[in-house]
């Protein structure tokens, strides 16, 4: 049976592990540094298997050696930003955590595909790529997939149409400079501009950009985890089953769209080898300018990364 390892058994990691098992995609290894945490959550999930008709194949462990032969490794390990913590403090803390995790992945699962969820996401994908020295096709991030899901949901909500009738995508950085592709968004094949005003669409765009922050403000002591976990499970499924779905995915660029040595989300064909193909869209001048601004925000964050953590460069 295929194996998927999830590093970090917090809300995102545990929910992701459970969904992968629920879909009967693979044996799941849930790893955490806290003694008993992954073991307890995995035991609970396995006991739930009889209700959901999946084989109880979730192993909770503190031992990274258990990830050996993993087809995919999902990295959720890291800390959320806490009151009084600067953005640089968060970057430094999570970069050090991700660096240690990736070194373990490189040692025990050198042929795996890595999916990063830890924030700041685009920068952590960049770090994971440099530390692992894996081919870029095997180191990606859950960014645009989640943002696209939020965009679709908010469009369906404001336009009062079924979610399944909406087709939409978000590209760029996983943050407030993301680029929802309004010109390409459709409802039942028709442009959203044919059924809504620019003002309404702009409201949807703004809510999408603040989608994660809105949840944080409501929860007070946490952040989103159901949607991020589902977005990741969808990516894992496309890889394991070689579905070749087109998913907006955080990916390291080497000249595509005119950008290099940076990570942003773009439409990617995901299959058994990881990134099978990057799709280059014909974007308007306005969208290209917005994408350039988004790229710049990530480039600045990567510069900050290089000042707070040492890592091997390709």
- Output the domain CATH number for residue 14: 3.40.50.720
DSSP 136: G
Q: Domain boundary at 118, 141, 164, which?
A: 141
* Confidence band, pLDDT 50/70/90 cuts, at residue 53: confident
Strands 274-278 and 72-75: unpaired
Active site residues: 174
Residues 253 and 226 occupy one common structural domain: yes
**38 pLDDT exceeds 50?**
yes
Residues 203 and 91 occupy one common structural domain: no
Q: How far apart are CA 4 and CA 8, in angstroms?
A: 13
Q: Domain boundary at 95, 123, 141, which?
A: 141
Number of domains in the chain: 2
Nearest Cα residue to 273 out of 137, 108, 145, 70: 137
- Give pLDDT tens digits for 92-116: 999 999 999 999 999 999 999 999 9
Q: Are 232 and 14 in contact (CB under 8 A)?
A: no
Residues 123 and 194 occupy one common structural domain: no
Residues 292 and 181 occupy one common structural domain: yes
Residues 205 and 278 occupy one common structural domain: yes
Give 274's strand partners.
Answer: 271
Q: Domain boundary at 123, 141, 159, which?
A: 141
At CA 306, angle to CA 291 and CA 119, rounded to 5? 60
Q: What is the pLDDT of residue 210?
A: 93
Q: How far apart are CA 282 and CA 291, in angstroms?
A: 13
**120 pLDDT exceeds 60?**
yes
- What mean pLDDT do residues 159-183 have? 96
Residues 128 and 153 occupy one common structural domain: no
Residues 58 and 110 occupy one common structural domain: yes
Q: What is the pLDDT of residue 207?
A: 96
Residues 127 and 276 occupy one common structural domain: no
Q: What is the pLDDT of residue 314?
A: 45
- Dihedral sign computed on CA atoms, order 46, 245, 194, 150: positive
Domain hosting 185: range is 143-314
**pTM (predicted TM-score):** 0.96
Pair of tokens at residue 242: 């070689």
Residues 121 and 192 occupy one common structural domain: no
Where do we find the tokens 């990134």? 275
């Amino acid at each position: 049976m295929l194996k998927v390892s999830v590093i970090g058994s917090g809300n995102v990691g545990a929910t992701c592990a459970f969904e992968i098992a629920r879909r009967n995609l693979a044996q799941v290894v849930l790893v955490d540094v806290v003694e008993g945490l992954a073991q307890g959550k995995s035991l609970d999930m396995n006991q739930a298997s009889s209700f959901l008709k999946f084989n109880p194949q979730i192993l909770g462990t503190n031992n990274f050696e258990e990830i050996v032969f993993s087809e995919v490794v999902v990295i959720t390990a890291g800390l959320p930003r806490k009151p009084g913590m600067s953005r640089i403090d968060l970057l430094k803390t999570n970069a050090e955590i991700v660096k240690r995790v990736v070194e373990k992945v490189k040692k025990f699962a050198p042929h795996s595909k890595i999916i990063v969820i830890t924030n700041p996401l685009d920068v952590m994908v960049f770090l994971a790529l440099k530390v692992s020295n894996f081919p870029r096709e095997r180191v990606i991030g859950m960014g645009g997939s989640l943002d696209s899901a939020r965009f679709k949901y908010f469009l369906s909500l404001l336009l009062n149409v079924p979610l399944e009738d909406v087709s939409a995508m978000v590209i760029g950085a996983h943050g407030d400079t993301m680029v929802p592709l309004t010109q390409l968004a459709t409802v039942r094949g028709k442009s959203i501009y044919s059924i809504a005003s620019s003002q309404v669409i702009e409201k949807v765009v703004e809510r999408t950009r603040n989608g994660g922050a809105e949840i944080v403000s409501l929860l007070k002591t946490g952040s989103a985890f159901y949607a991020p976990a589902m977005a990741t499970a969808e990516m894992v499924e496309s890889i394991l089953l070689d579905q070749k779905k087109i998913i907006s995915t955080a990916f390291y660029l080497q000249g595509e769209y005119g950008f290099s040595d940076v990570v942003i989300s773009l439409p990617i064909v995901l299959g058994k080898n990881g990134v099978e193909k990057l799709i280059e869209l014909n974007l308007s001048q306005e969208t290209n300018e917005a994408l350039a601004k988004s790229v710049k925000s990530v480039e600045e964050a990567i510069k900050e990364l290089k000042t707070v953590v040492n890592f091997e460069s390709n």
